[in-house]
Structure 1
Amino acid sequence: MQGILLTGMPYAGKSTAGKEVADLLGFQFFDGDTEIEKLHPDRQRYLDENGDDAYIDMEAKVIMGLPLKKVVHAPGGSIIYSKDVKSRLKDCFKVYLKVSLDVLKERITDDDRRGIVRLKHKGIGALYAERERLFNEYFDATLAVDGLDPDTVARAIVSLYALHNLTTEKRGMRYVSTNGHSTASFSEAMKLGLAPDKGLFVPETIPPFPAEQLRLMRHLTYPQTAFVVMRQFADIPDDGLRKMCEDAYTFDVPIEGHEDITIARMDRGPTASFKDFAAQLLSRMMTHAADGRKLAILTATSGDTGGAVAAAFKGLPHAQVAILMPLGEVTDTQRRQMTTAGGNITAVCVKGTFDDCQALAKRAFSEMKGLSSANSISVGRLLPQVAYHFYVWGRSGADTIVVPSGNLGSLVAGIIAKRMGLPVRFIAAVNANDEVPRFFSSGSYAPVVPSKACISNAMNIGNPSNLARLVWLYDGRMDEKGNILKQPDMEAMKKDILAVSITDDETRKAIKDAYAKGIVLEPHGAVGYAAVQKLSSRGLGKAVLLETAHPVKFPRELKAAGVPFTVPLSLAGLEKLEEHYLTIEPDFGELRKIISRMQQ
């Protein structure tokens, strides 16, 4: 792998940070001053007796003999004067560690013996200005280090290095429909939502990350991870996409290690749900793709998607959003997140199940022009979820990622991550809507009609849209009606995914069992927890559960189980806001009128 060059003015902390960078990456470390002192123990004496030019030449000979791959070099800043050294090290990733002139003046004394080339002739101020100009011309990145401890500096360097090596190549990506008759660019596919042939868009190819790049991804922040992943799929210029990721992801993913399971808390976003990871970036990408044109967005929700979409699109000047929810099947908190948004957000309660809501939405996309989707049928909603699988793996060392599953968007995103090189397998943990485990067991698909109402309400889906994508990923084909036209490779699918159904009684027991071990889970996370217990004999290795929502969204079940919880700041005061919503039968004519008014 490409080596790293660290330099800067004296006392910038090059050697201390460099050693830690080498440890983090498993690289060799070479301190330039130490290498010189093997030949000339008193560097200042050599400089005094031979002069600046001779010292520069001597230093160059030392540096020229050192290796370039999988190495961290921390030479003195005077290497910037040597054309030979700059040519030799040009292919390294070069980081200028910048200290301010005021800090430098405090550290350098008149009797300094470090062998600082040109200091006596120029003085510290002029030398600083000269070298800063040369450093800025030569180096790939600048890191201001005033006030930073060595560990922070080292980790920032590694992060910059990883980002540099993970963004050297960008492929153009086309999208094809799972029905096989439509193609589009990323922006086109995102705006369309459903493909014109009624299938779902999928990437035409899935670009892999080599093993060395995967190891580097462990050192990225979440916004950096999202950027590195999404640039493989999105037709958005890097600078714009990077900014979108930085703006969207101002929250982290806490990883909790417990005795028999690790929990990834996906509930720290603005609506306390894992849906924020997709919705926050989707709103920014769709705004970019619209380029000032009006957006009319329709989405159906079984629980958390609606609130996340409302928060992500609320107040956007060119966007009008309608959100369909099944009346009585979402919690009070989930409903209020949609009905109190107001403004450009229209909440619609449908007297039916989520599958009714989803069917209405799909018909609208098929029959009405100018609509975009914020559901996971949209490839722009699906693909941002790929990033958190990489991030969770990198932070936890997961062997198995446990995905509480409903419409299968998170699971499909995980399988895409696996095709990109992620070395894990998955548990698809579903509630009593068990169409996926039955499909895995028998090879014959039959939806659950009507879907069953379970306490893990966001997973009350009897006919998941993203199953068509999962089938496609395993070389099969499923049409928009749920008919298997070409059987997927079931053995490969079952090798990668363990699918299991959990009852409400098992879910309630899991909430109590987890709390007895100091783990607070809401019903969806409890479904995943119960799945791990049920499959513990299957050689899961380190199992990491994606806890999808904050427990406060499900107070009735947690109170019944005797599990205390706190209200996050993002949800505080929600119950005091006024609700506004429409109520309709699962009738397309009623929905058409709402959409028509929204599009005016």
Structure 2
Amino acid sequence: MIYFSTNKSTTPVSIKKATLEGLAPDGGLYVPSEIPRFSTPEIKLLEEGNFNNIAFAVARKFIGGEIPPDQLSDMIDSCYPFDTPLVRLAEDTFIEELFSGPTLAFKDYGARFLARLTGYFASEDNKLITVLVATSGDTGSAVAYGFQGIPNTRVVLLYPSGKVSRLQEQQLTTAGGNVHALEVDGDFDDCQRLVKQAFVDHELKEKLTLTSANSINISRLIPQSFYYAWASLRLKSAYGIDDPVFSVPSGNYGNLTAGILARMMGFPVGHFIAASNANDSVTRYLQDGRYEPRPTVTTISTAMDVGNPSNFARLRHFYNNDNHAMAADITGISISDEATKETIRNVFSRYGYIIDPHTAVGFRALEEYRSVSGNRTAGIVLSTAHPAKFLEIIEEVLEQKVDIPERLSVVLEKEKQATLIGTDYVELAHFLKHLDR
């Protein structure tokens, strides 16, 4: 399998090079030269498999022979020692809980796999890899914990000051060791812009070997397809349900893009809902074919506050810039903060189940999709974070205390360690050039 840039002016590379570079030299995102397919017999064999069996089968298609199968299998097992529950709230409505990992967020699935892959490839070359990450919340903490203690790596996290929850900030600023946090006096789009500038800074790249752990890195994106494959097959084997609709809380659109990969590989996925908040650039494109990014709007679903999502370039590539083809597979729905709060209350009242603001956006979008389309196909809402990670807003909306898992309460007691920088790239470049090993 080889990978090339969405900008199409870079020589195709191996998965190793794509992983260690993160962003292609021409500023594009790496995509596979072809989407590997699972035959009907292969899908049938995987129906009774566990999560790790399915993850290994998918990973092997993308990685080929670059990692021996036994080592890849061990890598998968070390990544996912936790469950991925599929909770049935109603006859036709399921929640896929993606928050059983160490940081209680779905980003653990991609970050843990990427960390091990990066460490494996870095050790082959005996290189020190600097992992540069922009985060709107959960990516940072997942990467911080995923890369802790991984040999030949160090991590620099950029997050927007005052625009992540307190628990998220505590997680990403207290990891220590080979992890460094930069608090940026701006929004997520500023953080993302700074990271992209670093990757095209030739002087900096002569001094450091840079890669990214955002979903711009193809090896962060691929493992996110695992839980779509798993849920679609689990729904079929346990409930006899085919081709569900996935409602995906969408910010930088890596999560949705991974779902598209799973569908293109042949897993039984019917349709997607791109559930956005007020940051609705892709929603508007799906409706009228015009992509017009706007400045980021701050909402209570903070991890989705992205005005110009990076992975939209991959979506356009997969659909050959055909708006109608994309809209046939993906329905974009934007949900307001007030509707998000109302959904948190309603889900708790109806089912006794607490959801975080991002999951609430996905849940409400599924309801609106059904109301408009009349489609009652089974729906799976991706639950991207434990509600305790957004404690303040959940307790305000529900007017009651929410239990905090012990691993989060411990983090709250630690001392924040972060360096404040502005949005001028010169400040980031200076920090990176003087970063100790």
- Shorter-chain TM-score bucket reads over 0.9
The one-letter amino acid paired with 2:118 is M
**Does 2:203 align with 1:374?**
no
Contact 1:396–1:544 (Cα < 8 Å) also in 2? no
Contact 1:321–1:344 (Cα < 8 Å) also in 2? yes
The one-letter amino acid paired with 2:350 is K
Aligned partners of 2:57, 2:409: CA distance in 1, in Å? 34
Shift in Å, 1:229? 0.3
Identify the match of residue 393 of structure 1 among 229, 232, 235.
232
Shift in Å, 1:251? 0.6
Contact 2:116–2:150 (Cα < 8 Å) also in 1? no
Identify the match of residue 384 of structure 2 among 548, 556, 574.
548
Three-state SS of the structure 1 residue aligned to 2:299 is coil
Contact 1:403–1:410 (Cα < 8 Å) also in 2? yes
Shift in Å, 1:566? 2.3
Moved more, 352-361 or 207-216: 207-216
Identify the match of residue 340 of structure 2 among 496, 500, 507.
507
The one-letter amino acid paired with 2:290 is S
Give 1:326's aligned residue: 160
Residue identity (%): 41
Larger radius of gyration: 1
Three-state SS of the structure 1 residue aligned to 2:200 is helix
**Does 2:265 align with 1:420?**
yes
**Does 2:287 align with 1:444?**
no
Identify the match of residue 328 of structure 2 among 480, 495, 516.
495
* TM alignment of 1:564-583, pairs within 5 A: 564-583=401-420
The one-letter amino acid paired with 2:103 is T
Give 1:277's aligned residue: 109
Give 2:198's aligned residue: 364
Give 1:139's aligned residue: none
Shift in Å, 1:218? 2.1
Aligned partners of 2:94, 2:8: CA distance in 1, in Å? 40
Aligned partners of 2:127, 2:24: CA distance in 1, in Å? 21
Give 1:202's aligned residue: 31
**Does 2:140 align with 1:306?**
yes
The one-letter amino acid paired with 2:323 is M
Shift in Å, 1:568? 2.2
Give 1:251's aligned residue: 82
Identify the match of residue 261 of structure 1 among 93, 97, 101.
93
Three-state SS of the structure 1 residue aligned to 2:118 is helix
The one-letter amino acid paired with 1:355 is D
Shift in Å, 1:491? 1.8
Aligned partners of 1:344, 1:503: CA distance in 2, in Å? 38
Aligned partners of 1:396, 1:566: CA distance in 2, in Å? 30
Normalising by structure 2, we get a TM-score of 0.93
Relative distance call for 1:262 and 1:591 in structure 2 (3 A) is same
Shift in Å, 1:323? 0.0
Relative distance call for 1:423 and 1:432 in structure 2 (3 A) is same
The one-letter amino acid paired with 2:106 is F
Shift in Å, 1:212? 2.3
Deviations 1:265-304 (A, max 9, x none): 1000000000000011111000111123211110000110
Relative distance call for 1:508 and 1:319 in structure 2 (3 A) is same
The one-letter amino acid paired with 1:271 is T
Shift in Å, 1:317? 3.5
Shift in Å, 1:193? 0.6
Aligned partners of 2:354, 2:297: CA distance in 1, in Å? 25
Aligned partners of 2:288, 2:222: CA distance in 1, in Å? 29
Relative distance call for 1:569 and 1:213 in structure 2 (3 A) is farther
* TM alignment of 1:394-543, pairs within 5 A: 394-397=233-236, 399-424=244-269, 425-449=271-295, 451-475=296-320, 488-518=321-351, 519-537=353-371, 538=373, 539-543=375-379
Give 2:428's aligned residue: 591
Three-state SS of the structure 2 residue aligned to 1:469 is helix
Normalising by structure 1, we get a TM-score of 0.68
Between the two structures, name the one with larger relative contact order (CA 8 Å, sep ≥ 6).
Answer: 2
Shift in Å, 1:215? 2.4
Deviations 1:423-444 (A, max 9, x none): 3211110000010111111111
Aligned partners of 1:436, 1:311: CA distance in 2, in Å? 31
Shift in Å, 1:178? 0.3
Tell me how large the CA RMSD over aligned residues is.
1.2
Shift in Å, 1:448? 1.6
